[in-house]
C-alpha cells in the first residue's frame, strides 16, 4: 500500500517535521508522493517540499496541489525568509492529475495522510467518486466542539475549505481523525506545550547543531515561524510550533500513542 502525504508546508513547522521524518526514514514511512495544499501563486509550498526531498537525495515525487478557496497567497513564509526559491526546485505542477492518474487510480488501497485542507482529495473524488473506496484517510483535525480555543469555530484544516471537508466526510467511508487538541496538552507544572518545539529548547538546539541539512532547514524554519508570530503580534515569551501533523502521522505507525474510539460524526452549525 502506498502512502500519500498532503501537506500545507511552508508556514507552521509541523509539516516540515513530517516531510523530514518521511525522507530520512523512507523504509518506515514509505512516501509515494508529497503534494502541497493551500498553495500559493508561486508554488512555494511544493518548492519547499521539493527542497527537503533534494537534500535527502531520495527519489520521491513532489507535486503542487490546489490553493484554498479562501486564501490568495502571493508567496509563502519560507520564501520570504529566504529558505526556498521555487524557480530552483523541481516539482510536478499539475499535482491533481498526477495524484489521480499515477497514484490513486493504479492502487487497490491508499493511505492518505491529510495534514491540511481536503481541497485536493475532494477535487479528485468529485471527478472520480469511485476512487473513494480506495482511500484510507488519516486526517489531522478537526476538533471537538467546545474544546477548541474558539468555541463554535471549526478547526483550521476544516474551516479553510468547509465544502471540501464536508464532501470528503460524506464520501470516504474509511477515515480516522486526530483531533487538534490531542496535541495541545501542557505540562502540569508550566504553561509549556508537551509537543511544542521551542527555538531555545533541546530539540531545536540539536537541529541547529546537526550536520544534516534537513535538520538545519527545520531549525531555520522554526526561527522564521517564531519571527512571523512575533511580527503578527503574538509576543509570548515562549512561542513554539506544536507538532500536530507529526502526531497524526505517527499514530498510523505506532500503537497506543493516542486512544481511538468509533463515533458518529455530528457537525455544529459552523460546518452546515
> Could you count the other beta carbons within 10 Å of the beta carbon of residue 169?
19
Quick one: pLDDT at residue 184?
86
Quick one: pLDDT at residue 213?
98
Quick one: pLDDT at residue 232?
81
Quick one: pLDDT at residue 237?
62
Reported pTM? 0.94
* Bridging pattern class, strands 110-114 and 62-63: unpaired
Write out pLDDT tens, residues 13-52: 999 999 999 999 999 999 999 999 999 999 999 999 999 9
Segments in the chain below pLDDT 70: 145-153, 234-237, 268-272
> Could you count the other beta carbons within 10 Å of the beta carbon of residue 49?
29
3, exposed or middle or buried, with CB in 10 Å at 0-12, 13-18, 19+?
buried
Domains present along the chain, CATH in parentheses: 2-182+244-259 (3.90.245.10)
Quick one: pLDDT at residue 270?
57
Quick one: pLDDT at residue 148?
55
Is 115 within 8 Å of 140 (Cβ atoms)? yes
Write out pLDDT tens, residues 238-267: 789 999 999 999 999 998 888 888 888 777
Amino acid at each position: 500500500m502506498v502512502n500519500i502525504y498532503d501537506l500545507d508546508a511552508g508556514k507552521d513547522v509541523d509539516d516540515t517535521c513530517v516531510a523530514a521524518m518521511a525522507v530520512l526514514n523512507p523504509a518506515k514511512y514509505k512516501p509515494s508522493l508529497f503534494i502541497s495544499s493551500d498553495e500559493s501563486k508561486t508554488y512555494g509550498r511544493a518548492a519547499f517540499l521539493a527542497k527537503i526531498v533534494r537534500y535527502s537525495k531520495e527519489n520521491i515525487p513532489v507535486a503542487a496541489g490546489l490553493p484554498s478557496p479562501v486564501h490568495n497567497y502571493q508567496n509563502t513564509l519560507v520564501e520570504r525568509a529566504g529558505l526556498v526559491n521555487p524557480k530552483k526546485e523541481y516539482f510536478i505542477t499539475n499535482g491533481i492529475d498526477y495524484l489521480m492518474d499515477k497514484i490513486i487510480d493504479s492502487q487497490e488501497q491508499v493511505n492518505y495522510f491529510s495534514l491540511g485542507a481536503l481541497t485536493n482529495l475532494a477535487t479528485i473524488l468529485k471527478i472520480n467518486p469511485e476512487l473513494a473506496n480506495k482511500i484510507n484517510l488519516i486526517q489531522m483535525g478537526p476538533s471537538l466542539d467546545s474544546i477548541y480555543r474558539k468555541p463554535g469555530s471549526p478547526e483550521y484544516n476544516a474551516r479553510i475549505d468547509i465544502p471540501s471537508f464536508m464532501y470528503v466526510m460524506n464520501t470516504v467511508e474509511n477515515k480516522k481523525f486526530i483531533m487538534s487538541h490531542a496535541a495541545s496538552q501542557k505540562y502540569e507544572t508550566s504553561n509549556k506545550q508537551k509537543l511544542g518545539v521551542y527555538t531555545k529548547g533541546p530539540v531545536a538546539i540539536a537541529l541547529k547543531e546537526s550536520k544534516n541539512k534537513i535538520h538545519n532547514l527545520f531549525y531555520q524554519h522554526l526561527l522564521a515561524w517564531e519571527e512571523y508570530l512575533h511580527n503578527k503580534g503574538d509576543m509570548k515569551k515562549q512561542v513554539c510550533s506544536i507538532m500536530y501533523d507529526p502526531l497524526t502521522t505517527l499514530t498510523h505507525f505506532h500503537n497506543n500513542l493516542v486512544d481511538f474510539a468509533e463515533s458518529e460524526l455530528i457537525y455544529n452549525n459552523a460546518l452546515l
